[in-house]
Structure 1
């Protein structure tokens, strides 16, 4: 199972995401590193996983505020060669384009993540064919425009199954959602799960359910998953 380490940015700080209750997130306290400086946290997670891709959620932007462009530029500048999957609450292709422009020379290493929670009805995937679509749900309820849940023909290659109320909860992955999306998506698409991972056995179960990769933060910070020594992420070409 491929692991994609995750950092959540709030007010310039790496925070610990729990159950999607963003108003209550606190700075990360990790067994991998000291402090909650985004670059330090990200570097430690990437090294622990031998990963070359990092998932970043800009919670300021997702909440309707401005993108943390300066923080993102610093983070990317500290991590040369790393591909960044970025969820910054993009409502459209134009919103993603504006953010990428603000990231300057780092933009070619950034893959936009369009979350159903934020995305409008117009598809951004003609402009960004290598972007990812995050199908967001909370309490079993799909978030955002129902179109993105129903019309698999409009999906890109990478689909993220984002179960917000299981993030940081250590109550196991939503394997049912993975299996449903696997059937709906077809063989050519990759399903990436998020939330609930407790240990390596959960990753094995997720792989058996049809997930290609999993977004992980809490289980890494608490060393519930053994370290890895070889790069293990599937290739992904930024737009």
Structure 2
């Protein structure tokens, strides 16, 4: 099957830790520092979000609440404020897992919860989340580091920590219609995603599932390659703050 070439939408990303937006590099969270950006001097989520949306002209954001993901707290107050102020879709990864009440989410028509494989220990929780009351749009993040799954992969019925396709099959069987492919080893490195072969395979097997990819995007050419691989959306952070991806796109 030939993968249809797509023109993916760009989705700005904010990683929030300790109440500020930080620069994520290769998933080494202990070393993350407040963002330094060509777009704004702000580091608070509302200020950075405003700068990203103004610079890109989009209305969609992806937010990772790192304190919640790592178990250092519940949903950050600054992230709650961002959701309250948002006027467009916000994909939110806040470490949703068995220790979190799936209904204890802010009431926002713009909320798009992301359940990450890293913190979702078994398919049972994803099943409960997918069929629970609340937001109808749910994303599932296939979290990897250097091509290997980060999480309790054995509990998902796969035999290999590189079997991302197997994890995707389980998620799609549980009514997930948005898959997010993220290799943390690439995040913030500007070395490209490196997940194009996986995206090709996912697009071939799941032609009607939305695919979003991220990690390592530096240029518009990187975005084009991900579109050719089947991505509908591309997560971008560092390249926007560093100015290697700008709007409007230059020819």
TM over 0.5: yes
Cross-structure match for 1:217: 237
- Whether 1:126 and 2:122 are equivalent positions in the alignment is no
1:78 Cα deviation from its structure 2 partner: 3.8
Cross-structure match for 1:179: 200
Cross-structure match for 2:97: 91
**Which one of 21, 25, 28 corresponds to residue 32 of structure 2?**
25
Describe the shift of the 1:183–1:145 C-alpha distance in structure 2 as closer, same or farther (beyond 3 A). Answer: farther
Residues in 2 aligned to 1:155 and 1:77: alpha-carbon distance in whole angstroms? 27
Cross-structure match for 1:232: none
Residues in 2 aligned to 1:62 and 1:162: alpha-carbon distance in whole angstroms? 15
Say whether the 8 Å CA contact 1:55–1:215 is kept in structure 2: yes
Cross-structure match for 1:12: 19
| Unmatched segments (≥5 aa) in structure 2 | 1-7, 157-166
Say whether the 8 Å CA contact 1:76–1:82 is kept in structure 2: no
Structure 1 stretches of 4+ with a deviation exceeding 4 A read none
Aligned length: 222
1:92 Cα deviation from its structure 2 partner: 4.4
Cross-structure match for 2:43: 36
**Which one of 167, 173, 198 corresponds to residue 187 of structure 2?**
167
1:57 Cα deviation from its structure 2 partner: 0.3
Question: In angstroms, what is the RMSD of aligned CA positions?
Answer: 1.9
Question: Aligned with 1:108: secondary structure?
Answer: coil
**Normalized against structure 1, the TM-score is what?**
0.86
Residues in 1 aligned to 2:72 and 2:101: alpha-carbon distance in whole angstroms? 13
Cross-structure match for 1:66: 73
Question: Aligned with 2:97: secondary structure?
Answer: coil
Residues in 1 aligned to 2:200 and 2:239: alpha-carbon distance in whole angstroms? 22
Cross-structure match for 1:113: 114
Question: Aligned with 2:101: secondary structure?
Answer: helix
Say whether the 8 Å CA contact 1:191–1:210 is kept in structure 2: yes
1:150 Cα deviation from its structure 2 partner: 4.6
**Normalized against structure 2, the TM-score is what?**
0.82
1:47 Cα deviation from its structure 2 partner: 1.3
| Unmatched segments (≥5 aa) in structure 1 | 230-239
1:129 Cα deviation from its structure 2 partner: 4.6
1:177 Cα deviation from its structure 2 partner: 2.2
TM-superposition CA deviations, 1:56-93 (whole Å, max 9, x none): 100000001212442123223443x1221110000149
Describe the shift of the 1:169–1:202 C-alpha distance in structure 2 as closer, same or farther (beyond 3 A). Answer: same
Describe the shift of the 1:48–1:164 C-alpha distance in structure 2 as closer, same or farther (beyond 3 A). Answer: same
